[in-house]
Amino acid sequence: IQGDTIYYTIRAQTGETQILDGKPTATWGYDASVLGPLIKFVSGKHYHLTLINNLPEVTTWHWHGLDIPGPIEDGGPHAPVRPGEKKEIEFDINQQTMTAWLHPHPCPHTAEQVWHGLAAPVAVINPADNLPQIPHDWGIDDIPIIFQDRTFHDNQLDYQSDYDMDGTLGDTALVNGTANAEFTVTRPWLRLRVLNGANRRELRLNSNDNITMTQIASDGGFLPHAVPLTKLMLTCAERAELLLDFSSYKTGDQVVLKADDTPILRLKVGDFTEDNRSQLPATLKQIERGFTGGATHKVVMAGMDDSVRINDKLYDMTRIDDQQVMGKNEIWDVSNTNDDMPGMGMIHPFHMHGMSFLVLSRNGHDPYPNEFGFKDTIGVNPGEHVRLLVRFSVPGIFMYHCHILEHEDTGMMAQIEVI
């Protein structure tokens, strides 16, 4: 730290991780053998990052969820860092409290690099909207749940042989890079920062006990009001922060979190060392959403496997597909036309770089109760359309794409220039 500039160095590197019994798995990570430690940004500060590529191939550092000017700082395919190379970038962070993430974006190799383990949690803290009554002792009562699925071949990953054009699936569920993950709960309130970091699989989170999982935040920060759930659906790259209340449990009890029917995390209740409960405010965050005017941008997501397209086109890095004026509210009408393939059409998770949007409607109606906060990724089912309120506060060229990583790599991606 020097003055108001904070310096970070982040290495992408190869390593080994004990994921299954027996031989360790060769993995990739950020300053770690797999995934990476939490990267924290404080709103209002200036950051200087040194990115070092110790991998055998080109990569990029994309800050999924951060409002930073693109395309070099944003880390899309325009910002390659070659093996052995070191790059420095700088940006200001000016946004609300939220959970973002870091992942590589060197299309068409994004999916494979994430598969190897490149992904890390990122938290933005903005003193203006950071609710102090919500647990925030990282690793104690505030923990990440990075959900992914992988297949192992003699304990190793083999992306080429598992590759599926419609999104690579694994047969083993991982949380934070671990199979059979466990955590000991030592305070009655537990905050979970859940990220669906899978290449393709939707996460349908539930528990053996139907414990109430109170959702307090979505991708872009706190919801206007807490939403109690017993089941949470996240498509790829979506995030949710949940608050679980263990005060009625006793030492030795267990809550098993599951993805569909597969156990993914055992929460073992230990002796409570401290009471961290308090009163949640009735309004977590004031969010203005009554906007109707402005230009409308149309995005049509269509197809499967190698026919995936956005507005009938495949990605071309040299083509600007759309433009929007900085600081202006505009509507994006996003649809998924895959309803002409009964039983086959896929959910496409629609993601935008460079800002967080609000969901105005889903199929002409209100969005789901947990979609009233800011988001940067939204699951769109075959035949559905959503209307988004989009406002950029930084200039640059930004991607928008399907976040099934193999679809993105195939070219289900486009770019907007914010002027």
Chain positions contacting ligand C2O, by CB under 6 A: 62, 64, 103, 105, 237, 351, 353, 399, 401, 403
Q: Report, in Å, the least distance between residue 199 CB and ligand C2O.
A: 11
The Cα 98–Cα 91 span in angstroms is: 17
* DSSP symbols for 14-31: EEEE--SSSSPEEEEEES
CB of 70 or CB of 135, closer to ligand C2O: 70
Burial of 261 (0-12, 13-18, 19+ CB in 10 A): exposed
Which partner, ligand C2O, Cu ion, none, binds residue 348 by CB below 5 to 8 Å per kind? Cu ion
# of chain residues touching Cu ion (CB under 5 A): 6
Q: How far apart are CA 325 and CA 22, in angstroms?
A: 55
Q: What does the angle CA 81 – CA 104 – CA 110 come to, to the nearest 5 degrees?
A: 110
Residue 150 interaction partner, one of Cu ion, ligand C2O, none, beta carbon < 5-8 Å per kind: none
Least distance CB 395 / Cu ion (angstroms): 17
CB closer to ligand C2O out of 75 and 135: 75
Fill in the amino acid letter for 311.
Answer: N
| Shortest Cβ 2–Cu ion spacing (Å) | 29
Choice between 244 and 380, CB closer to ligand C2O: 380
The residue of the chain with the least Cβ separation from ligand C2O equals 64
Decide: is 402 part of the binding site for Cu ion (CB under 5 A): yes
For residue 105, the partner it binds in Cu ion, ligand C2O, none, with Cβ less than 5 to 8 A by kind, is ligand C2O
The least distance separating ligand C2O from the CB of residue 64, rounded to whole angstroms, comes to: 4
Q: Which does 226 bind (CB under 5 to 8 A by kind): Cu ion, ligand C2O, none?
A: none
Q: Does 64 bind Cu ion (CB under 5 A)?
A: yes
The smaller minimum CB distance to Cu ion, of residues 62 and 225, is found at 62
In whole angstroms, the minimum distance from the beta carbon of 170 to ligand C2O comes to 19
Question: For tokens 């299954």, what's the residue?
Answer: 20
DSSP string, 45-91: -EEEEEEEE-SSS-B--EEET----TTTTTTSTTS-B-TT-EEEEEE
Note if the bond before 71 is cis, omega within 30 degrees. Answer: yes
State the binding partner of 237 from ligand C2O, Cu ion, none, CB within 5 to 8 A by kind: ligand C2O
Q: Of 238 and 330, which CB lies nearer to ligand C2O in the complex structure?
A: 238
| Residue 112 phi, psi dihedral angles, 5° rounding | -65, -40
Least separation in angstroms between CB 345 and Cu ion: 10
Compute the distance between CA of residue 375 and CA of residue 237 in angstroms, rounded to an integer: 10
The answer to whether the beta carbons of residues 155 and 19 sit under 8 Å apart is yes
Rank residues 135 and 170 by Cβ distance to Cu ion and give the closer one: 170
Nearest to residue 115, comparing CAs of 197, 59, 58, 55?
A: 197
Residue type, 223: L
Q: How far is the CB of 347 from ligand C2O (least distance, A)?
A: 16
Burial class (CB in 10 A: 0-12, 13-18, 19+), 262: exposed
Contact call for residue 407 and Cu ion (CB under 5 A):
yes
353 binding Cu ion? (CB under 5 A): yes
Question: Under the rule (CB under 5 A), what is the footprint of Cu ion?
Answer: 64, 348, 353, 402, 404, 407
